[in-house]
Structure 1
Amino acid sequence: MRQTVNKNELMVLLPLSLNYSRIEIEGNEKIKNFDMNCIKFIIGRIIYSSVVFVKTTETEKYNHHSVINSDTWIKHIGKNYLEYVQLLIDLKYINRKPYVVGEESFGYGFLKPLRFSRIFAEVIQIKSADDLKSTTTKTSYVKKYEKPLIDFFDYTKFSIDTELAENDVFEAYFMEGKYPIKISHGEPDKEGLATYSYYLMAMKNMVKFMNGIYSFSRGSDKVGKGYKTVGRFYNPFASLNKEIKKSGN
């Protein structure tokens, strides 16, 4: 299914392992003016924050619980966000760990039977969606001289067959017999977790691109007088997995 993200919309990643019809039925019964988009936003943020790139080791790290500040929920869902969180807890889809020391935020994660699921992408409407989007340039040099190229990256002008992209990425990472991930005592083996993390990061990069979360550089971390370009313009499209690139336009 080909999808485009417009203004006031957001593309999120959702696990195939959840029963969304059940969530909607329970939500309409328990929450006044229930909005399924709020549920999908919560689930999507948990997945989005569960995998991070560790620059020092150049690897992807998977976190069983995503640390998300309550301000995020309030801003994009409203003060009744706890009703939505509690609904997912009551349905035994997610759990919430105590405040993380130094973060002053709860950690949210899927219960063990639902972890390491295949995922799919969906475009939702959520309050203040555009506040989650950003375009950055690492140096004033890039901003000044690459403006025509940077202006080309208008996220509302791109589309992608998300189903085809996910299928190609999944097949690229999980060859014969490597999925489902082998679990021992509730935890996946090291190789399986690493593979799943790479799969998840590839899909996360797709979502970042489609949501207009861009970064541009000339390949140097130095700024000011010490700045030197490596001669290549690094744009958000270049960071996408090759399986995802061929599914978009």
Structure 2
Amino acid sequence: MSEPDEVDVARPNAARVYDYYLGGSHNFAVDREMGDEAIAMWPELPQIMQANRAFLRRAVHFCVERGIRQFLDLGSGIPTVGNVHEVAQLAAPGTRVVYVDTDPVAVAYSKKLLADNPDADIVRADAREPDEVLNSDEVAALLDLDEPVAVMMVALLHFVGDEDGPQEMIARYRAAMAPGSYLAISHATAEGRPDMADEHADLYKKRTATPMTFRSRVEVGEFFEGFELVEPGLVFLPQWRPVSPSEVGDNPERFTALAGVGRRS
């Protein structure tokens, strides 16, 4: 794999480590080393990441079924199978998607993937800077924010520390969303496996530029201020509108992330 300009190949990157967990190829030796270290301490991590990806697909289908035809995917990461545009455009051709990420690898490969897709693009920007994202040329070209939009914050907010003001960040996006819009969130929590959370958070703090913040159900629920949670509310990943009971299993709390979708009234 050849790297785009500005890529730090000496330090693990959260997006590339996530790609490795999912079995992708857009990662470097340093990312795989950290991923293996994390899996050694927490063997279920790849399954948790796959469950997170499955939630994203179900949330996209849910929004499309309710008439949403435009998506803003914040912290979209590196292209892997089951991207928002693939799921949405298969269900509703012509659906428009704008991805947002700061990682040059994610942006470069997304640009390549989307080169022939007139209804999808990516912005290289920091999701923590809503005005930069919302005023970008790509958003202006593809999204009509006077109409309902689905904003995806899937596995994003646990990389936004309290000092960065996640509530204020979400409020700015909410203010730009028309009534009838949706917000999808998945977020790491210690509630399923409190014994593992601190050690995992320490690994990200030491090895990457994006430390993790594990939050409680109450704290994650507060991110939906101004939105009405749709059924089944804020639940563990596989519990959010599973396709079949087998997806949930007997111990859903082992998937240590919460998921929910809220509607802007």
- Please give the TM-score of this superposition, normalised by the length of structure 2: 0.26
**Of the two structures, which has the highest relative contact order with CA contacts closer than 8 Å and spacing of 6 or more?**
1
Structure number with bigger Rg: 1
- Please give the TM-score of this superposition, normalised by the length of structure 1: 0.27
